[in-house]
A and B are shown apart, each in its own frame.
Chain A
């Protein structure tokens, strides 16, 4: 069984937010719900000030704090390395959101569409069936696409080819080689969560 992971090359990321939109389009997340985000950080002072972009989504940790605090077992770590939420089991206590060091979980409020004066569009009606109000949701590495042999939507959409997806367990895979060759690191490594998303230094 593959152990899925992602590598994000910060040297290539241009901060275009395509991955954010691709995720929204693919997963049809309601307003206010962002499974994939791009964080912009300012560094330095004028005239040598810079903005750095860091895309973040669920890190699919190997020791996920969210799984440990979930009282119902709705959040679970699959054998493929993907941390998923069983929406039918989620009671919406939000303990997982409080406990996530990366703040990448969203809570589905009562769902309102993007175009409130017109009601839900046919696309929204279809997409929101997946998003149960009162539950927590997050990135699942586009499991439905993986089943069809496709890569996650954000990986395919990235125009700068900054995202790579593959099997971390296989040392010959592209992701494993990138991590080894370009000293890939993980966010908040010291938290001991063992994320499956690696970053290549910018």
Chain B
């Protein structure tokens, strides 16, 4: 697994973001984040339809070690959440950039994505 895929954008609080063809933005947490958290046991996701502001606390990851807040990387409406994480939270450890995506946001202003770090910038922030 690539530690920091170059096609994604990153927040210094360890969320990754990917713009989809339909304009929505998929959000998850980085490999570095899951590694630091250890075994993930619960993930609490926002409700579909919730309006988020960039930087707002909107999800929680509980691992054996600690509870960590997840912040919205961009503003917009939650249009989908990954239901699979309810029963298989270990996906976050196994496939953080794939099967363990957290939620999708329809951004109000997709230029907010440009304010996030690129892979190089994220790695430099670690």
Please determine whether chains A and B interact with each other in the same assembly: no
Residues of chain A having any CB pair with chain B under 8 Å: none
